Structure 1
Amino acid sequence: MIDSRWLEFFIGRRWGHDGGRSVAFSRTLKVVLHIGRHKTGTSSVQRYLSKNREALKRDGVLYPDLGILSGRIETAHHEFVHALQRGDTSAAENFLREIERQQNESNCSTLVLSSESFQNIKNSSSLKEMFSGHHLYTICYIREIVGYYCSSYAQFIHANNCFADPYSYLRMFDTRLGEFVSAWYEFSHGSCFRYFNKNLLEEGDIVQDFCHHAELPYYPSTVLDEWESNVSIGGNLLYFKLICNAFGGLSRDSYYALGELAGKKRKFREKIPVPVQTQSELRSRGYNTVLKRVTGCEPKLRDYSKNTPFPDVSSLREDIELILDNAVVRRDFDELSVSPTLFTRSANSFSRGD
């Protein structure tokens, strides 16, 4: 979470409240902020925008390339937001200066910034002041609460080296959608909240849906590169990562390797089972009511109680062997000094709830 006191100081210093200069964009802009949420096809949108950066620029849309500052290929603007969150004034200043430079060079009328980390900015009024004088438009996709819980848990275990079983994670799972929506309505001149359901997206495609509602050009492509897939891990693959987390976790290289494994085997993408009682409790919190109000769509209530057991002891041994056939994962796993037999032993206790 951004320290609001720091952000107010930083913006005040840069935007002239104590004599500093204001942002010198070459024209008044439409600023589109794509803020997520997590596991709603954000990576696909970001990769589309990154891949078509030059074509978009010719059509008056700037999707800034900030990778030249972060030192690696960046399809989104996470590092810019993370700099704000860290209170790293120097890095944030550099990113903002680069956005300004690219806009002035291109003279585009629309600026698009995309990062799920925008969700964590609580002081939206300060961010609004950052782009004062420009038209701010926020677009966000929302999942049905139980499906969101399943995907959120999988991403938490996959992306972090933290250990939390599904029941522990449930206690920290944030369902205050009403507060989230209100904050962004207040922040933006215009907001678009969309229900993330393939049957309701433009042509069943998140990229086309985003372009339509953000009023951006869409360039059809018949080629889907392998790197454009960012599937959630699940099943015994998720269980493998969970246990590895208990012993210190794996490297960032393994994050991508696990994603590749999930793309190759359907069972490695299965969501965790959720008891009927837990589903009912989640759906009683008012989240889905807010979803319906802001998207105009009735959420589809799927039953997750009959999903494959987590872990699936019947295939665990062979699944672990398959996972460890991946050289990157094997390298990281060997550094943990954990015996593969531990997974089977702990799975029996895990499934009993010990």
Structure 2
Amino acid sequence: MSKKIIIHIGRHKSGTTSLQTFFSCNKEELISAGIYYPEIGTRDGAHHLISELILDRTVKGVSISDVLKENLMSRFLNEITSVKEEYILISSEGFQNISPSIVRKTFQEFEVYIVVYFREQLSYLKSSYQQEVHATNLCCDILEFEKTFKVNFLEFYHEWEREFGKKNVIVRIFDRRYLVNSDVVDDFFVSILNEKFSLFPSVKQPSLDVFTTNLSLSGRCLSFKLRFNKFFPVRQNIPNYLYYYLAKFSEKEKNINYVPDDLVNELIEKYRESNLMLMDELGLDKSFFEISKPDTFQELNLLGPKQFLKIFLEIIAVENRFKECLSRFYSYSQEPFDGIRKLVFCDNINLDSISYIYFCVNGVDVPVMDMCFFISNELWITNDNFKLVSSVKLRFDDSIFVELAEIDGVNS
């Protein structure tokens, strides 16, 4: 009897991280129920190294037979064929990006079942956008992001059904109203492992933190990260700890509806027919996948320099290493110009929002707003008393001020 492989392919933003954490933390319990969750090819508890290898090689034109000979794949396949368990459970949302025919050829020696969770497109779009802003340097608005967002689930389902058959492609709806106990982990274990395969592992609840729950940003934190991404040097790596602290701060933020009504209506029209056809094919209630209009629209704007600095200082208060980023957002350079002293501020600084500018001369902070003039983000001053300036400070109000770093070519 050939082994049965259950491949959980996502999709993204449908509780994948929670499921993978559970699988990884409950390996012994899964084994006791006859399910093996492979160790080789995992990263952060999921088989991302396997899906990424297959996608990378096949996109480059490498045949699947040659991919299977590579060291990682060879060891992975040897692991799952050598264990005594009848069921092999594999999980990585990276598989959703691979051609189903390639996945079938990869596991052609096995009886394969595909498990996928679909999330209603508006919620999916918003969550994906927030996560992309959070984890990368994306700084476009959601209208631009949506242009690259293709989520026709009917077409996606048909691609997998053609390769594996209707009985072997298991679709669940990622919506708390329809998940078992409103929980994706309970849903997977009850609706799939228990009801579909008659497997009953006894599982334990792992301890989850923001590293494993993969929180999206909201409120001020989303606006902060958008501004951070806009002005952070592209060639530099964003500190990993920023992901952690913004997620923690975001837990207290209100999740507003910033998706414009026109885009909401466009999504409803674009996917209404295909969603209804998918529900009909799967024999599910058509209300399962309705895109409902959200609350009143509230525009999502980049934070201004003052509010941006306020959150910056809040993060520094709990993570001192974040100070290293401050100079990239609050800095200036000096340029001589015909006897006139010219200070050029970095792009993040909007001089219109500043209440006071101070030059530190001989240890004394001297206000200079009334002694200079501004052109764009440049400060010009002719007063000879300021030839020995040791530092420059900005004050946004009575409580928020920052000392600028002097660097060469602030916007280079």
The TM tier, using the shorter chain, reads 0.7 to 0.9
Q: 1:193 to 1:269 in 2, by over 3 A?
A: farther
Measured against aligned partners, the alpha-carbon deviations of 1:30-84 in whole angstroms (never above 9, x if no partner) come to: 11111111111000000000001122123221111125xx7xx530011111112
Contact 2:131 2:215 in 1 (8 A): no
**Is structure 2 residue 121 aligned with structure 1 residue 145?**
yes
Q: 1:43 to 1:61 in 2, by over 3 A?
A: same
Q: 1:82 to 1:91 in 2, by over 3 A?
A: farther
Paired position in structure 1 for 2:403: none
How far off its partner does 1:173 sit? 1.2
Give distance in 1, aligned partners of 2:224 and 2:46: 28
Q: 1:252 to 1:181 in 2, by over 3 A?
A: farther
3-state secondary structure, aligned to 1:198: coil
How far off its partner does 1:245 sit? 2.5
**Is structure 2 residue 228 aligned with structure 1 residue 244?**
yes
Paired position in structure 1 for 2:262: 277
Instruction: Specify which structure has the higher proportion of strand.
Output: 2
Q: 1:153 to 1:328 in 2, by over 3 A?
A: farther
**Is structure 2 residue 292 aligned with structure 1 residue 292?**
no
Measured against aligned partners, the alpha-carbon deviations of 1:247-275 in whole angstroms (never above 9, x if no partner) come to: 33574652x64244324443547255112
Q: 1:105 to 1:136 in 2, by over 3 A?
A: closer
Match of residue 79, structure 2, among 102, 110, 114: 102
Give distance in 1, aligned partners of 2:23 and 2:217: 24
Paired position in structure 2 for 1:76: 46
How far off its partner does 1:288 sit? 3.4
* Sequence identity percentage: 25
Contact 2:257 2:297 in 1 (8 A): yes
- Give the number of aligned pairs: 314
Q: 1:110 to 1:253 in 2, by over 3 A?
A: farther
3-state secondary structure, aligned to 1:172: coil
Match of residue 319, structure 2, among 323, 327, 348: 327
Measured against aligned partners, the alpha-carbon deviations of 1:213-236 in whole angstroms (never above 9, x if no partner) come to: 331534343553325422112222
How far off its partner does 1:240 sit? 2.4
Listed as ranges, the matches of 1:37-186 within 5 Å are 37-66=11-40, 74-87=44-57, 93-122=70-99, 124-186=100-162
Paired position in structure 2 for 1:24: none
Instruction: Specify which structure has the higher proportion of helix.
Output: 1
3-state secondary structure, aligned to 1:237: helix
Provide structure 1 residue ranges, at least 5 long, that are not aligned to the other structure: 1-26, 349-354
Contact 2:31 2:85 in 1 (8 A): yes
Query: Quick check: 153-162 or 167-176, which moved more?
Result: 153-162
Match of 2:313, as an amino acid?
E
How far off its partner does 1:146 sit? 0.8
Q: 1:179 to 1:100 in 2, by over 3 A?
A: same
Contact 2:10 2:116 in 1 (8 A): yes
3-state secondary structure, aligned to 1:169: helix
3-state secondary structure, aligned to 1:108: coil
Give distance in 1, aligned partners of 2:81 and 2:238: 35
Paired position in structure 1 for 2:294: 304
Give distance in 1, aligned partners of 2:95 and 2:161: 14
Give distance in 2, aligned partners of 1:292 and 1:269: 32
Q: 1:257 to 1:60 in 2, by over 3 A?
A: farther
**Is structure 2 residue 196 aligned with structure 1 residue 196?**
no
How far off its partner does 1:159 sit? 2.5
Give distance in 2, aligned partners of 1:295 and 1:239: 41
How far off its partner does 1:176 sit? 2.6
Measured against aligned partners, the alpha-carbon deviations of 1:133-178 in whole angstroms (never above 9, x if no partner) come to: 4221111111111111101111222222233221211211113322
Paired position in structure 2 for 1:206: 184
Paired position in structure 1 for 2:375: none
Contact 1:273 1:309 in 2 (8 A): yes
Provide structure 2 residue ranges, at least 5 long, that are not aligned to the other structure: 194-198, 332-345, 354-412
Measured against aligned partners, the alpha-carbon deviations of 1:186-237 in whole angstroms (never above 9, x if no partner) come to: 1224111111111211111101111223315343435533254221122222
Give distance in 1, aligned partners of 2:255 and 2:69: 38
Give distance in 2, aligned partners of 1:228 and 1:244: 23
Paired position in structure 1 for 2:307: 316
Paired position in structure 1 for 2:214: 230
Q: Which fold has the larger relative contact order, with Cα–Cα distance below 8 Å and residues 6 or more apart in sequence?
A: 1
Give distance in 2, aligned partners of 1:271 and 1:295: 34
Measured against aligned partners, the alpha-carbon deviations of 1:96-129 in whole angstroms (never above 9, x if no partner) come to: 222233234421111111111111112x223212
Give distance in 2, aligned partners of 1:148 and 1:92: 37
Contact 1:34 1:139 in 2 (8 A): yes
Paired position in structure 2 for 1:16: none
Give distance in 2, aligned partners of 1:324 and 1:331: 6
Contact 1:163 1:243 in 2 (8 A): yes
3-state secondary structure, aligned to 1:224: coil
Query: Quick check: 337-346 or 177-186, which moved more?
Result: 337-346
Give distance in 1, aligned partners of 2:134 and 2:121: 20
Q: 1:82 to 1:119 in 2, by over 3 A?
A: same
TM-score (norm 1): 0.76
| Bigger Rg, which one | 2
Q: 1:321 to 1:268 in 2, by over 3 A?
A: farther
Paired position in structure 1 for 2:386: none
